[in-house]
Structures are given as C-alpha cells and as structure tokens.
Amino acid sequence: MEKQVKKKAPKITTDLRRDYIKVPEIIRKASGIVINGKRIRSFIFTTDIAIIMNNNADAIIAVYPFTPHPAVVNGITTVANMPVVAGVGGGLTHGPRSSNIALFAEAHGCISVVLNSPTPLSTIREVNGIVDIPIILTVVSEFTDIQEKIDAGVDILNISGAANTANIVREIRQAFPELPIIATGGPTLESIQRTIEAGANAITYTPPSNGELFSEKMKKYRKQEEEKAEDSEYHE
C-alpha cells in the first residue's frame, strides 16, 4: 500500500499584512464546529475593527458589555473577512429587541447569534422562531440547566467560566456527548490544551489590546532609531 505524504499548503503573506494577530496553533487540535458547511476551530474575541481586519482566526465572536446595537453589527460585518457571530443580548436586552437585532445580524451575514447567560427561556424561543442561524448561549456555571436551554432552541454552548472553564466543559460534555461546545481557552497554551481535552470543540481567543500592540511597535521603532543614531556616530 502506497504511503500517503501529507502535503504542505503554500503560504502567501503580502508585505503590509505581516503583523497580523496569530491565534495559538494548538487550537487546531480542536475538532471544530461545522456551521452551515464552514468548520470553525478558533474564534477571536474582539470588537476592535483594526484587529478584526488583521488576524488569522476562523471567525469573530463579537460580544460586548453594552446593550447590543445594529450599528455595531453593521460596522463589524462591513470590515470582517471571516464569519461573524454577534451578541444580541440576554442580560439587559431581551424579548423583541433581541429577536430584532438577531434578524438584523442574520441579514448582515452573521453565521450565528450569541445570547448571554441570564437570557430568559422566552427570549431564546423568540429568537429561535425568527432566525435561521444557530443560537449560541454563553454559560458561566456548571449549575445551569442545559437541557431546558436546548429545549428552548439553543444549538451551541459558549462556556466562559474563568479558571473553572475546563471543569464546566468536562461536566457538560459527560452529560451531552454530541453537543457543540465553544469555550474560552485561557491565558496559556496549557490551559487551551486542558480545555480541548475536556471536550471543547472550538476555542475563543482574546487577543492583546490595541494599546498593547501599539506599545510593542513603538518599542521596535525606538530601537530602530537608537541603532540608527549609534551607527551614525560610529561613522562620523
């Protein structure tokens, strides 16, 4: 039997796109979740337009601690060159407003919508009745009644339990072997690995802030100026 040789994919990066944010390679060990034909292993957690335009994640998870607004969905989907899942409420915002924003998100090409953990079952049902894209529910505790959320229309869980995330994923995975699970990976490669091993199908990655990235770039530019000055003094 002829041995199959794994072929390497050619990589092309244009000159002005070399500083893009790379999600940790270890996330590729996750199985991924196939949403309407697209396999997604990595979600980058940001609403920063510049970061959205300059990263190699499989998708954007655009949730934020304010009332969701169509203008935010519009801005993100306008610049994103990969699939977007958008937050549509569940905490302060629910009911008809959540369902209307969910429909708006679908109309703007979002592949899924995200409801926050306090979302009433009535809102889940209302959103489920109006959109034809999956509903993701953020879960922050192992004490959440997962079955009632699924019965109301939730398709995917997004586990966000801080340091306890891997344990929550493990408990839910044991109870629901086939349920699609996204989870926060944590700050290290080891924590991402633990979360994947616990049963997460996809990982959300929080990138450095725009300020942190700019700080590193300014250090690089200062070093270049210092080296230029030293070189000039040497040749005088």
| One-character DSSP codes across 145-169 | -HHHHHHHT--EEEE--GGGHHHHH
CATH of the domain at 194: 3.20.20.70
Give a yes or no: residue 229 inside a domain.
Answer: no
Give a yes or no: residue 66 inside a domain.
Answer: yes
CA distance 196 to 169: 9
Give a yes or no: residue 47 inside a domain.
Answer: yes
Give a yes or no: residue 223 inside a domain.
Answer: no
Print the domain residue range for 43: 20-208
Give a yes or no: residue 192 inside a domain.
Answer: yes
H or E element, residue 196? helix 189-198
Nearest to 51 by CA among 219, 201, 212: 212
pLDDT score for 193 = 97
Domain count, the chain: 1
pLDDT score for 197 = 97
CA distance 148 to 236: 77
pLDDT score for 231 = 67
| One-character DSSP codes across 8-62 | PPP----GGGTTPBPPPGGGGGS--EEETTEEE-EEEE---HHHHHSB--SEEEE
CA distance between the termini of the chain:
69
Asked if residue 215 lies in contact with residue 39, where contact means CB atoms within 8 angstroms, the answer is no
Give a yes or no: residue 221 inside a domain.
Answer: no
Give a yes or no: residue 172 inside a domain.
Answer: yes
Give a yes or no: residue 36 inside a domain.
Answer: yes
pLDDT score for 3 = 62
- Give the model confidence (pLDDT) of 177-203 as tens digits: 999 999 999 989 999 999 999 999 999
pLDDT score for 215 = 85
Instruction: Using 50 as the pLDDT threshold, list the residues of the chain that sit under it.
Output: none
CA distance 194 to 82: 27
CA distance 170 to 129: 30
